[in-house]
Amino acid sequence: MAYLIWKDPYMVAGNDTFINSLLELNNFKNVFFKRDGRYPVVTLEDLNQAELILLSSEPFPFHEKHISEIEEVAKNKKIRLVDGEYFSWYGSRLVKAFAYFKELHSKI
Q: Give me the residues paired with residue 55 across strands.
A: 4, 81
pLDDT digits (tens, 9 = 90+) for 18-37: 999 999 999 999 999 999 99
Structure confidence at residue 95 (pLDDT): 86
Q: How many domains does the chain have?
A: 1
Residues of the chain with pLDDT under 50: none
CATH of residue 74 = 3.40.50.1980
Structural domain including 91 reads 2-107
Rounded-to-integer distance, Cα 38 and Cα 49, Å: 18
DSSP 35: S
Rounded CA separation 23/14 (Å): 11
d(CA 94, CA 46): 30
Residue by residue, DSSP assigns 5-41 as: EETTTTEE--SSSHHHHHHHHTT---TTTTSSSSS-B
Confidence at residue 92, expressed as pLDDT on a 0 to 100 scale: 82
pLDDT of residue 8: 96
